[in-house]
Structure 1
Amino acid sequence: MIGIIMGSKSDLPVMQEAADMLDELGVKYEITIVSAHRTPERMYEYAKGAHKRGIKAIIAGAGGAAHLPGMVASLTPLPVIGVPVKSRNSIDGWDSVLSILQMPGGVPVATVALDGAKNAGILAAQIVGSADQVILQNLIDYKEGLKNKVLKSAEELENR
């Protein structure tokens, strides 16, 4: 199971892409709002207890100062995938990207592109799929589908 968390409800349109990808790949998840700044106790409890609830990885989306992924990573033994979210108070999203990307040694956060929750979902599935043959096969099928889509597009373009 994967945990998907975000700093506020306004992040949901971006973070829903991770949930949609996990649905497509057959990976169970939970999704909720955990703010590093407005609900630090909730963040602490979520991060400290996630592995005890069977969570295998956490996808954490945040905009602006984007402290959520790093703070969660500092509190959990689980892999954390950070999704920088371009929010209305953002500096073109760069503040979020750099806040998540530039973690100190010892506190890694895997970071995807700005608003890249779809890739975060795929990466989380790959983490789980390394120990789950069904999810691994779903990933193989998904990637084969990507290849086939490109080949079909190339053929259509070449034969027009």
Structure 2
Amino acid sequence: MNPIVSIIMGSTSDLPVMEKAAQLLNDMHVPFEMNALSAHRTPEAVEEFAKNARSRGIKVIIAAAGMAAALPGVIAANTTLPVIGVPVKGSVLDGVDALYSIIQMPPGIPVATVAINGAMNAAILAIQMLALSDDELAKAFAAYKEGLKKKIVKANEDLKEVKFEYKTN
């Protein structure tokens, strides 16, 4: 089984955030790989990865980075594959610096960007992209979305059991 999604992080310190993306891809049976590559410390490796990703069968790249957050942009500059950026909280600016670094890409080099530490939404976007040409994955994703709806309905029902003196429902 060859990976079709690549999760790249600037450092293994990003793993606790990126595990959420990995878990969802795993749950949805989407083959993926995970690597740590740094745009600043291993720039040649990042460029080689990005240039060869399509020929290796990768269809979507999820790239996480904190602080200067160059990794998603450098990857996007070196591939025609869709790149989803995940800004990671970890600096004195609480990830806002990473967010701005990722979303402020020049015309022609887009990086779809999710919220700070939004790895799960990055995986959801990757799954939605892949589901455009994979009917089985589309069905599995529809079931996943239905499950989210059911969780909220149940949570609302459970709130009825919470008692306060002045609560009226």
What TM-score do the two structures reach when normalised by structure 2? 0.91
Q: Which has the higher contact order (CA 8 A, sep 6+)?
A: 1
Q: 1:18 aligns with which of 21, 26, 31?
A: 21
| Partner in structure 1 of residue 107 of structure 2 | 105
Structure 1 stretches lacking a partner, 5+ long = none
Cα distance in 2 for residues equivalent to 1:86 and 1:152: 32
3-state SS in 1 of match to 2:143: helix
Q: Contact 1:58 / 1:81 at 8 angstroms: preserved in 2?
A: yes
**Identical-pair percentage:** 54
Q: Contact 1:63 / 1:90 at 8 angstroms: preserved in 2?
A: no
Kindly state the Cα deviation for residue 120 of structure 1 after the two structures are TM-superposed.
Answer: 0.5
Q: Once superposed, what is the RMSD of the aligned Cα atoms?
A: 1.0
| Partner in structure 2 of residue 7 of structure 1 | 10
| Partner in structure 1 of residue 78 of structure 2 | 75
Alpha-carbon spacing, 1:159–1:92, altered in 2? closer, same or farther (3 Å): closer
Q: How many residues align?
A: 159
| Partner in structure 1 of residue 46 of structure 2 | 43
Q: Contact 1:61 / 1:83 at 8 angstroms: preserved in 2?
A: yes
Render the CA deviation track for 1:101-151: whole Å, top value 9, x for unaligned: 111111110000000001101111111111111111110010000001111
| Partner in structure 1 of residue 143 of structure 2 | 141
Q: Contact 1:57 / 1:80 at 8 angstroms: preserved in 2?
A: yes
Cα distance in 1 for residues equivalent to 2:134 and 2:155: 32
Kindly state the Cα deviation for residue 157 of structure 1 after the two structures are TM-superposed.
Answer: 1.8
Cα distance in 2 for residues equivalent to 1:85 and 1:21: 18
Alpha-carbon spacing, 1:90–1:39, altered in 2? closer, same or farther (3 Å): farther
Higher-Rg structure is: 2
Kindly state the Cα deviation for residue 91 of structure 1 after the two structures are TM-superposed.
Answer: 1.5
Establish whether residue 120 from structure 1 lines up as the match of residue 122 from structure 2. Answer: yes
Render the CA deviation track for 1:58-101: whole Å, top value 9, x for unaligned: 000000100000110011000000000012x3422111000001
My pick for the range that moved more, 148-157 or 107-116, is 148-157
Alpha-carbon spacing, 1:4–1:39, altered in 2? closer, same or farther (3 Å): same
Give the letter for the 2:84 counterpart.
I
Give the letter for the 2:12 counterpart.
K
Kindly state the Cα deviation for residue 154 of structure 1 after the two structures are TM-superposed.
Answer: 1.3
The structure 1 segments of at least 4 consecutive aligned residues displaced by more than 6 Å after TM superposition are: none
Kindly state the Cα deviation for residue 159 of structure 1 after the two structures are TM-superposed.
Answer: 5.2
